[in-house]
Amino acid sequence: MKRSIAALLGAAALTLAASAASAHATLETSQAVAGSYYKAVVRVGHGCEGKPTLKLRLKIPDGVSGVKAMPKAGWTLDIVKGPLAKPLDDGHGGKITEGVTEVIWTGTLLDAHYDEFVVRGKLPDAPNTVLWWPVVQECDGAAHRWIEIPAAGQSADSLKEPAPGLKLTPKP
Domains of the chain: 25-169 (2.60.40.2230)
Could you read off the pLDDT of 22-81 as tens digits, one per residue?
468 999 999 999 999 999 999 999 999 999 999 999 999 999 999 999 999 999 999 999
Could you read off the pLDDT of 8-37 as tens digits, one per residue?
434 443 333 333 334 689 999 999 999 999
Could you read off the pLDDT of 151-165 as tens digits, one per residue?
999 999 999 999 999
Q: Terminal CA-to-CA distance of the chain, rounded, Å?
A: 52
